[in-house]
Amino acid sequence: MAFEQKTGTAATLAIVTAIGGFVLIFTGNPGWGLLAELIAGLLGAIGLVMAASPRVSGGMLSLAAIVIAVFGLGISVLGLVGTVVF
């Protein structure tokens, strides 16, 4: 009995939120970018756990979202420090 795999919603939302966080950071909103990257990391972790089910795919997508979110967190923190200092 073969089940058709479907990409997890959490994984898709995680990658969209991670990319949206980068857009927010580079448009001059590092605070909102930080929030978006935190949400992306959380959604990526949820998507990674859900991908353990044989019916749900998206483990690599969740992992990519987590990596992008970690880089985005670093850049947004640097952006916030730059905003405070300058």
pLDDT of res. 8: 84
Domain assignment of residue 46, yes or no: yes
Q: What does each of the 86 residues of the chain score in pLDDT, given as a tens digit?
A: 566 777 788 999 999 999 999 999 999 899 999 999 999 999 999 999 988 887 888 889 999 999 999 999 999 999 999 988 98
Domain assignment of residue 20, yes or no: yes
pLDDT of res. 54: 78
Domain assignment of residue 2, yes or no: no
Domain assignment of residue 29, yes or no: yes
Q: What is the 3-state secondary structure (H, E, C) of the chain?
A: CCCCCEECHHHHHHHHHHHHHHHHHHCCCHHHHHHHHHHHHHHHHHHHHHCCCCCEECHHHHHHHHHHHHHHHHHHHHHHHHHHHC
Domain assignment of residue 3, yes or no: no
Q: Which domain holds residue 52?
A: 9-81
Number of domains making up the chain:
1
